[in-house]
A and B are shown apart, each in its own frame.
Chain A
Amino acid sequence: MPLIKHGAEIDDIWAYVPDEADLSPGGCITVSLARFRSERDILLARNTDIGVRLAPEDDPHELEDFLDRLQLIEISFPKYTDGRGYSQAQLLRRRFNYAGELRAVGHVLRDQIFYMNRSGFDAYETARADLHQVLEALNEYTEVYQPAAAGQVPVFRKRHKG
C-alpha cells in the first residue's frame, strides 16, 4: 500500500506481524500492543527496529517508558469515523514527546489527513489518496485556531506578536 511521509511517497520497509504469526528473524517489524506487552523483552533484545501498532482502544500510556526504543508507532483507523487515534497521537507527541515515526494505517482518507497531520502524524499508509491529494489536503488551511502536536502557531498568538 502506498506510504506517504514528509511530503513524498516512500518504500515501506516495515512489516506488521499478526499476533498469531511467528516473529521473522530480521527486518523491521511492528506488533500489536498486546504482543508488545507479553513479548517485550524478546522484542527489545532483537537487533532490529521495532514498532507497535495501536488499536483505537489501546492506552498509549503503556508505551511511555519504551518510546526511545521504538522507531515506529502505527495508529490504526479501522473506520475513519473513529477518532480515538487523534487523542492517542496527541498524547504520544505532546505529553510523552515521542519523536519517532507516527503512522496512520487503515481507513485513511484524504479529508482526514489535515487533522492527522496536526495531531502529530507524519506518515500515512493509504490506498485512497495519491501523493498529490495528500499534499493538497495538508495545505488546505494556512491558519489554525488552537495549538496541537504539529506545532503550527495558532492565530491567537500571531495576533499579538510584536
Chain B
Amino acid sequence: MYRYDEFDARIVSERVAQFRGQVNRRLSGELLEDEFKPLRLQNGVYLQLHAYMLRVAIPYGQLNGRQLRRLAVIARDYDRGYGHFTTRQNIQFNWVALKDIPDVLESLAEVEMHAIQTSGNCIRNTTSDHFAGAAKDEIMDPRPWCEIIRQWSTFHPEFAFLPRKFKIAVTGAEHDRAAIRVHDIGLHMRQRGDVVGFEVHVGGGQGRTPHLAALVSEFVPETELLDYLEAIMRVYNRFGRRDNKYKARIKILVSELGADEFRRLVREEYAAQREHEKIALPPEEIARIHAYFAPPELTPVSGSDAAFEALKAEDKEFARWARINLHPHKVDGHVSVTISLKPIGGVAGDATDAQMMTVAHLAETYAYDDIRVSHAQNLVLPHVALKDLPDIYRELKAAGIATANESLITDMIVCPGLDYCNLANARSIPVGQAVQQVFADPDYQEDIGRLHINISGCINACGHHHVGHIGILGVDRKGEEFYQITLGGRADEKAAIGDIAGPGLKADDVPGALKRVVDTYRDLRTDKSELFIEMLARLGHEPFKEALYAAD
C-alpha cells in the first residue's frame, strides 16, 4: 500500500496545525459558526443531531494493521467504543468532542491518516474495488491511480468550493464492484494495445434525482487522465448550478445540457489547455506510486488445503462461512475474506474497538497487513491462504464478526438515519434490523442467494436505496414514518435505478412485505442459479408489486 514520504507527511501535519487554529478561532468566537462550517466540513467534521461527527478518510478503502489499531484507540478514547464504516469506504466517529478533534487528527497523522476532504463541496475520498489487487477477474489494479487522484485532488486550489460535493470511483475489473455508474466521475480502466487508459463516465449519482452516468470518453490514456479530469472539473465549477443545492450536482448539469453538449464543453476545455497548463506527471512518479502497490509474494498452491477441508467437513457453520464469505483470488490456494459487519440485529457497518483490534491482528498475522473497507460497509482481508482460514475464522467468531452473509439479503447497506443524522426523515437502523430478523435463518438466506437490500432514511440516499435490488426509502408523512420500496436497482456494470413499487409502507409492515416478495421469487425462479435481480428483468415487476401489497 502507499506510504507517505516526507512531503505527504508534511502536508498532513500542516493540516493538523491549520485545523487546530481554525478550531481555536471557532471556540474563541472569532469565527462565526457559518464561516467555520465549510472549514470543518472540508475536514470531515459534521454537526449531527447529538454531537459533532468526525469522518476519517480511508483512501480507496485500504488500511494496514497499525492504522486500524489507531482507529480502535480513537474509538475507545474519544468515542463510545465503536466506529462506523461508510459507503465511501471511510470511518465515522459519532461522539467526538470538537475540542478533541485536533488531537485526534494529530494521532491519525502519526499513522499516515487524515480527514481531509471527507465532506464539503470538494473532491471527496476516491473509492474503488475492495478486492483491488486480489480479485481473480481483475484486469488492472486501480489503486495506484486512486492514489494519484488522491494527491492531485488534495487541496486543489481551483476545486475547493465546487457547487456541490464530488465523488470519483475507479475500477479495474470487468465486474464493477465500485458502483462507478452512480458516481460524479466513474473511471473504468481499459487497455488499448500497450496503452492503459480509462473509460470516463460522468454525471451519475443518487440523491433525490438519481442518474446513471453518461459515457463522456471511451478512452483517455493514463498519461492524460489528470488533465482530462481538470477539464471536467473546470466545466463543472464554472457552469454547475449554484442557485439550488438540490440541483447543484454535476448529474444535473449533464442532464440539463445533455450528454452531447457536456461532452463538447469538456472537449473544448481540454483542447484549449496549453502546454504549460498540462500536469505532465513524470513517468518516474507514476512508477514510484505503482511500486507501492506491488502484489504480495504469494506462493501458488494447487488444489485445496487439508486442514481447511477437514474443518469444513466437521463444522457446518465454518463450511457455510467459507461458501459465502470468500472471494476468488488471482493466486491459486488463496482467497479474499469478507468480514461481515452485518450481524443479525446489529448496526450495519459498526465495529467495536476490540473487533478492530482483532482484524488488525489477523491482517498482521495472516494477511500481509492489508485490510479493506468495502462500500457495502464490511471489512476485507484481500490476501489469505486457504490453510490459514480455520485460525482466522476462530478468531473472527470469538470476536463476533464471523457472520456468513456477504452479499446475501441480510448484508444490507444502511445509512445512520434518524438515530444520528439531522438530515434524515425516518429511522433506518431499526427497520434494517427488523428486516434482518425475518431473513435471519442461515439456510433461508443462503437459499435466497445474492440479493442486495439498501436502506436510506431520507431522499439524500446515503444508503444507496436507488441501486439496491430492493431499495427502502424512509419518508416522513405528517410526522409518521413511511417506507417506499423500489425494485430492480443495481450498482454493478449493469447499473440501474430501481422503480418505485407503489405507496409507502409503515415500518412494521416492511419485513412481512419483503418476505412475500422474496418468497414469490423463490416460487417463480427457474432454479437457484437465477438471481432475484435477473428474475425481475425476466418477469417484470408486477408479480412482486402484487406480493408487496398483498394482505397477509
Contact = CB atoms under 8 A, between A and B. Distances in A.
Contacts of A56: 242
Interface in B16-48: 17-18, 22, 35, 38-39
A141 B14 contact: yes
A160 B284 contact: yes
User: Could you say which of B38, B161, B162, B279 has the most chain A C-beta atoms within 10 Å of its C-beta?
Assistant: B161
Interface residues of B, number: 40
A119 B277 CA distance: 12
Contact of A94 (B38, B276, B281): B276
Contact of A95 (B10, B272, B282): B272
A142 interface: yes
Given A95-B274, A147-B279, A159 B157 contact: no
A119 B279 contact: no
B285 to A, nearest CB: 5
B121 interface: yes
Contact of B279 (A82, A83, A115, A146): A146
A103 interface: no
Interface string B270-295: 00111011010110110010000000
A31 to B, nearest CB: 22
Nearest to B35: A109
Give the one of B7, B14, B279 with max A CB within 10 A: B7
- Looking at A95, A111, A116, A144, the one whose CB has the most chain B CB atoms below 10 A away is A111
Contacts of A141: 11, 14, 18, 155
Contact of B155 (A145, A156, A157): A145
A140 B157 contact: no
B154 interface: yes
A155 B7 contact: yes
Contacts of B274: 94-95
Interface in B142-195: 151-152, 154-162
B282 A83 contact: no
A137 to B, nearest CB: 9
Contacts of B238: 84, 87
B237 interface: yes
A87 B234 contact: yes
A86 interface: yes
B315 interface: no
B30 to A, nearest CB: 10
Nearest to B152: A146
Contacts of A145: 11, 151-152, 154-156
Nearest to A116: B157
B18 A140 contact: yes
Contacts of B7: 143, 155, 158-159
B314 interface: no
B372 to A, nearest CB: 24
A119 B18 contact: no
Interface string B181-222: 000000000000000000000000000000000000000000
B5 interface: yes
A80 interface: yes
Interface string A72-114: 0000000011111011001000110000000000000101101
Nearest to B18: A140
A118 interface: yes
A152 B159 CA distance: 17
B156 A146 contact: yes
Given A87-B238, A158-B7, A144 B285 contact: no
Interface of B: 5, 7-8, 10-11, 14, 17-18, 22, 35, 38-39, 121, 151-152, 154-162, 226, 234, 237-238, 242, 272-274, 276-277, 279, 281-282, 284-285, 288
Interface of A: 56, 80-84, 86-87, 90, 94-95, 109, 111-112, 114-116, 118-119, 140-148, 155-160
Given A145-B151, A157-B282, 13 more contacts: A83-B160, A84-B242, A86-B157, A94-B277, A115-B161, A118-B157, A143-B7, A144-B155, A145-B155, A155-B7, A155-B8, A155-B151, A159-B7
17 contacts: A80-B161, A82-B161, A83-B121, A86-B158, A87-B158, A90-B158, A95-B272, A109-B35, A115-B157, A141-B11, A142-B10, A143-B7, A143-B10, A146-B226, A147-B279, A155-B7, A155-B151
